[in-house]
Structure 1
Amino acid sequence: MGEEVLSGLYREVFAAVVAASGPVSGVELTRAVGREAEIKNEVEKIRHRAYALEKRGWLLREKNGRFMPAPGAVGRDASPASAGHRRPPGATA
């Protein structure tokens, strides 16, 4: 499975980490996906997505909190965030 199985903001966060030249912080990720990094809530939303991607094996988090792609994250049989999960009708984000 490639990153196409990720939905919406999860895909954007993963793509931003992959495109970076090295490990990135939550603030850098927030800017990379076009959000206001000066607004703490926006940074936390993006960081939450990165944590979810880490938990599912797509990203690695360094001790300093910066994120980088997990080795082999694209194209392996991981259980990616939001993959295959449909919201029930009327559900909100």
Structure 2
Amino acid sequence: MPDRAEGMGLQALTSEYRRIMEIVAGSDGPVMAKDVAVGLGRETTPGKIEPVRGQLRKLSDRGWLVRTASGRYRPC
């Protein structure tokens, strides 16, 4: 996944990451990994939520999302 740069659109992301971005952007506020996992149609077991948390962290590390102090995510 590329680092986010000025003018870069979601088309630079894979379909899975684009879907995550759509879920986060469509929420009323910062979301938890569990919320995104539910939006992706996954179970809410730790084994299904942890990979989503990793994907959210990766999006945050590369400038696509902002991670709040409480561990929730929101669009930049």
When the two structures are superposed, what TM-score results if normalisation uses the length of structure 2? Answer: 0.85
- Aligned counterparts, 1:12-23, within 5 A: 12-23=19-30
Unpaired runs of 5+ residues, structure 1, are 71-93
Partners of 2:47 and 2:10 in 1: how far apart?
25
- Identical pairs, percent: 33
Identify which of 47, 55, 70 aligns with 1:64: 70
Deviations 1:21-63 (A, max 9, x none): 11000111110111111x1111001111000000000000111
Contact 1:9 1:49 in 2 (8 A): no
Which has the higher mean CA deviation after the structures are superposed, 6-15 or 18-27? 6-15
Higher helix share: 2
> What is the deviation of 1:12?
1.3
Partners of 1:8 and 1:16 in 2: how far apart?
12
Partners of 1:49 and 1:12 in 2: how far apart?
11
Other structure's SS at 1:24 match: coil
Unpaired runs of 5+ residues, structure 2, are 1-7
Number of equivalences? 69
Q: RMSD in angstroms over aligned alpha carbons? A: 0.9
Runs of 4+ displaced beyond 4 Å: none
Other structure's SS at 2:66 match: strand
Partners of 1:66 and 1:50 in 2: how far apart?
9
Q: Which has the higher contact order (CA 8 A, sep 6+)?
A: 1
